[in-house]
A and B are shown apart, each in its own frame.
Chain A
């Protein structure tokens, strides 16, 4: 084990290196470019044995990853924002073809107006593509999640691709101490990938060909649905094993902080959770019963785990760093839908924060908790959706 100071982008590159990615097809985009630059350097320096494909667009990058994965190669790529949007068509193809591709996505806002800063709209817009979605809080988590993703995605019961989100600049360009796992332990933890239906000229296959309505199309989609159901139990098992091998404990789909006796719980995604945890410490020192749940996994959506974690809460505030125009924040929608099937009816409010990289400070979070307290006292929310810190 070696400790290094590195940015989230370098942690992502190290994650792919330690996982021994064999094919990397990528197209540069700010603020992701450093990830694939570092991987190109690893390869040219002879530190990583992989095929590096320089393609003409993100659409081509994903197409190349799918084909490479189908030959049985462990495949990695990285993108961000507009690049992820351009991949959209192929994202469906990757999950439909059951290719266990792992991708780092630096979470960045979409244009116009041009904005390269942190925002979750890019990945939220890919919600229905059949990809597993993680959002990281630290550079260490970026590295570790990439390794765990390969183990998860390549499992026979799963066979789906995953994307790991890291917030633009807050992680991508910010340095932290990161433990790099020992290669020999990592090799034991993550053996070489073996495709279940590899493309092989000696044993020809037709892949993804026509399926008429009366044939098996519905059933192939049904199988993706069933595999997604197995992701959370499998993830819990993998992370337990990871903890045993590497001594770092991840807690599955949710990261709970002071929730057990909390009256007011905020639900957050990505780096903002760190700021919220600090604010929780401060407010707890003043005697307030507050807590935070960080959603690590957005697809599959951990409904059951969330309902359980919210069982004692009287007020739930959701921090959405993205918005579904014409409706509400995506996490808010999904959390409300999960609660509908229970007899729990806490007050719930959506806070739209940090859009296009606007800073979310402890003061912002304190104001949010104060507002939650006020609503809880009145036993009524003042408005269902609040765009916090908008200059009105």
Chain B
């Protein structure tokens, strides 16, 4: 199992997918992608962060798709099927995370709808986090 990027998400033995963020040990600010070391809160001088598993569910902030194959370094599937993207506001984490959407098209999505973190393969094999229908 190859992940398309190390340290940004994890897949448990039962297949459950988590985004890995960081929490500042001084002010509690959460960040994704993980910010190891410095905190981005301008009023915090914290330099220690802890890895945090972010909430797996959230509500759609917005969504779109890519009707034409995105340029490199994206590896587009052949034949190409539009990539659906959703920006999801994570429950209780105060941030919105963008991801591809698995098994749903723009016709299935609505702003405010609940989605759950899953994973799926890029066209050349490695796995990436994705948003999927809430179970």
Q: Do A and B bind each other?
A: no
Show the binding face of A for B, using Cβ within 8 Å: none
